[in-house]
Amino acid sequence: MPLSTRGSDTVSGLTTTEAARRLAEHGPNEITADRRVPLWARVSAQLRDPLITVLLAAVALTLAIGDRPDAVVIALVVTVNTAVGVAQEVRAESAVAALSRLSSPVTRVLRDGGQRTVPSTEVVPGDVVALAEGDIVPADALLTEAAALLLDESMLTGESLPVAKAVGAGRPSDGTVRAGTVVLRGRALAVVTATGSESALGRIAALLRPRPEPTPLQRRLAGLGRILAAVAVGLCAVVFLLGLLRHQPPGEMAVAAISLAVAAVPESLPAVVTLALALGARRMAARHAVVRRLPAVETLGSVTVLATDKTGTLTQGRMVVERLWTPHSAATVTGLGYGPTGEVHLDGAPDGEVRALLTATALCNDAALHPPADGDGEWRALGDPTEAALLTAAGKAGLDHERLRADLPRVAETPFDSSRKRMSTVHRRPDGAPLLCLKGAPEAVLDPAVLAEPPELLERARHAAAGLAAEGFRVLAVADRRLDHLPDPPGEAEHGLRLLGLTALADPPKPSAAGTLAACRRAGILPILVTGDHPATARALAVRIGLLEPSAGPEAVVTGQPLATGAVTDPTRTRVFARTDPRQKLDIVQAWRARGAVTAMTGDGVNDGPALRQADIGVAMGRRGSEVARQAADLVLADDELATVVSAVEEGRRVYDNIRRFLVYGLAGGAAEILVMLAGPLFGLALPLRAGQILWINLLTHGLTGVAMGAEPVSPGAMSRPPRPPHQHILGAGVWQRVLLLGLVVAAAALGAAVWARDGGRPWQSVLFLALLAAQLGTVLGLRERLLTRANPFLPASVLASAALGAAALYVPFLRDVLGTQPLSWSDLAAPAVAGLAGLAAARLRKQTL
């Protein structure tokens, strides 16, 4: 709630002593960021992973039985995985800190009867602050004086149009200013009512604090990890107890049980997934989508609902004159931005009428346009964006506003205010006679008390203005009058004017907006529009980009008030929301998540921050977006193009497909290793493989080849199929059946090679070791979407490298000593080669899109 202004003196301000007392009472005018998670807590969280826990137990058991080589290998795997996970987590959570940077670094306040400059952090409730053009409002405040005050509140409200403020305005909000907004025009004095966490920015910061929930991939992998850990522990216990029942030595059975646990646990799964996501993030960055939180890479591929902001996201984020209406016809204006690029296309209108209309708008105007600087190619506007758009339209008609102002210098003016809803300026013509130019809201100008026009013309003009407004345009009426003498005050001459016409302005959609939303629908993603702008503006844009049918009425747009009061029982039935505040945007996202949807939210303003953080994936604009939006988001679009989201979704689906492909490969190999360890003794192979040998196989198969699988190209038709069901198990849709089948084939091939070697008096354990490795490497090649594609040469290269490192385990003395292997002759290598071909054939026979 706003703090009291009692005790404030609006003439002399607070005393220095009183300001210090209030600063001590209320604290500095800043928003405190969340505490960072300490490093030890991050490491602890990594070590609590079920898969890592099993491996830590294996380290303890191997040390207990004196098997130091295996203990060293297992501990090395745990260390590498933990280091990679912690490195990816150490990212600054600075969304709340960015809020404080929005406040102006210094503020002018009245203290001890005079004006002085103080740091904005020292502003306290009751301070009288002085505001002027270009200032950032340091805190929430109540206006006591205001002259032609115009504020940009888009970062807080999403409202694309500047907001006029005045003392004693009809609505309470029109007489207040809020922290973080920008003064576009005018000056004011205001008494501070709320600072820090009690201000508008502070309340948004409170919504930013809840930490996001795990992503769909994290939830799926966590569940899989628990299952695999339980399987590993269960198998260990069963094997150990069966061995004791057969009166086997406890030490030997402990080694067998540990080996089985190592076989059951895909210990490199966390690292491989992290590296696959990192590769995806790198590819996204090349496509202008910068990932701030690594799991967001996969989350994009699972998105089912895209909630997008309007201003700056779907639209250009700047006003443009698109239509002109004159008493005798109309015209359309082309071109985007503030540059003079574009044309005025006449629809039967006399050129003189259009030029007269645009001349008046250029003269009755306080904005300025600046040509491109530093080769960036963009014109810049200073002042009211609406007035800047009017200057731009005049330039497109061939009018030089600087020359106009020189030829017709301003000699008097009556500023715009919220009660009159119009402004007028008086200019000296070359013959010395005054010329009055006026523009304003249609209801304030199309009035017989203002215009000396016949009733039928006024009625036609009102009808035209209403039609343009219904299409979502901001409409201004323009008039002029030649005077005999300079009026005093100038406002006394605002009668008997000639109607020049109407201007229709809009914040137009980006060229890619309609195509992007259509692509989303083809991919099974439902787009919805959530904005703080006017309902008519939101509806008009939704129709233009194909989000609503042209026949959709005003009822198709739901505003924030019914949402806040609970009148809208099911927000998920609506596709366009208008006049929403940060809390309501958050409610919309949460309503979809409660239905099980995977949500993405795009935006660029401070008001979008809470929803960006709460959504499964938050997407912020990188150029125009506020720092708050960028820091709260998981993904930042470097080019501010919504079309980049489609590219990022495709990349996300590619990553998810490749992770599923790796799981088939990795779990099939693990299943094969378990079958080898369980079935080996039945074929007379007492301890088929040692724990260190299994880990070496897993490092080679899951390491280089696992990373290479993450670089596989996107599957054809990836963007023509619906997203994965949010609750589908990561091994669903036939994956686990395929894992078992491939596991059986790989195990059978490896055991067959071992039995052949044993019967021939060859070093059967080394043959088994190499055959199991070869069969898995054959499987990874067989799982490719296109076997001979050149799109990812790293995969066949990694298979060759892994095969070479597997051979090194047999022929390099140091590795032989650590792993307990023996060298093989050339004839002994035939069986592992056959096992590799068996794995390749089995994977190709059951090839399918994962």
Position 34 pLDDT exceeds 60: no
| pLDDT one-digit tens code per residue, 361-389 | 999 998 888 887 765 567 888 778 889 99
Cβ atoms of 536 and 472 within 8 Å: the answer is yes
377 backbone φψ class: left, alpha, beta (φ>0; ψ -120 to 50): left
Q: Residue 93: its pLDDT value, please?
A: 40
Query: Where is the domain boundary, 185, 208, 231?
Result: 208
590 CB-side CA count, 13 A: 14
CATH number (domain holding residue 411): 3.40.1110.10
Least confident of 14-28, 231-245, 277-291, 376-390: 231-245
Residues 196, 220, single domain; the answer is: no
Burial of 431 (0-12, 13-18, 19+ CB in 10 A): exposed
Report in angstroms the alpha-carbon separations of 479 from 192, 218, 358, 435: 40, 63, 11, 11
Residues 483, 526, single domain; the answer is: no
Q: Is residue 293 part of a domain?
A: no
Q: Residue 101: its pLDDT value, please?
A: 45
Residues 723, 817, single domain; the answer is: yes
Q: Is residue 716 part of a domain?
A: yes
More confident residue, 750 or 214: 750
Q: Is residue 396 part of a domain?
A: yes
Q: Is residue 45 part of a domain?
A: no
pLDDT, mean of residues 805-833 = 90
CATH number (domain holding residue 599): 3.40.50.1000
Residues 200, 222, single domain; the answer is: no
CATH number (domain holding residue 200): 2.70.150.10
Q: What is the residue range of 165's domain?
A: 16-32+101-208
Q: Is 13 helix (H, G, I), strand (E, B) or coil?
A: coil
Which residues form the catalytic set? Answer: 309
Query: Where is the domain boundary, 606, 640, 674?
Result: 640
Q: Is residue 3 part of a domain?
A: no
| pLDDT one-digit tens code per residue, 697-749 | 877 887 678 778 877 888 887 888 888 776 776 677 777 888 889 999 999 99
β-pairing verdict for 380-382 and 368-370: antiparallel
More confident residue, 247 or 118: 118
pLDDT, mean of residues 431-437 = 91
CATH number (domain holding residue 768): 1.20.1110.10
Residues 720, 780, single domain; the answer is: yes
Residues 725, 626, single domain; the answer is: no
Q: Is 177 helix (H, G, I), strand (E, B) or coil?
A: strand
Placement of tokens 């190499």 in the chain: 770
Residues 497, 521, single domain; the answer is: no
Residues 695, 582, single domain; the answer is: no
How many domains in the chain? 4
Position 331 pLDDT exceeds 80: yes
Residues 270, 325, single domain; the answer is: no
Residues 628, 708, single domain; the answer is: no
Q: Answer positive or negative: Cα dihedral of 515, 520, 522, 526.
A: negative
100 band by pLDDT with thresholds 50, 70 and 90: very low
Q: Answer positive or negative: Cα dihedral of 420, 422, 428, 431.
A: negative
More confident residue, 309 or 775: 775
DSSP state of 701: H
β-pairing verdict for 289-291 and 344-347: unpaired
Residues 429, 284, single domain; the answer is: no
Residues 149, 269, single domain; the answer is: no
Q: Residue 414: its pLDDT value, please?
A: 87
Q: Residue 73: its pLDDT value, please?
A: 63
| pLDDT one-digit tens code per residue, 400-427 | 888 998 999 999 888 877 677 889 999 9
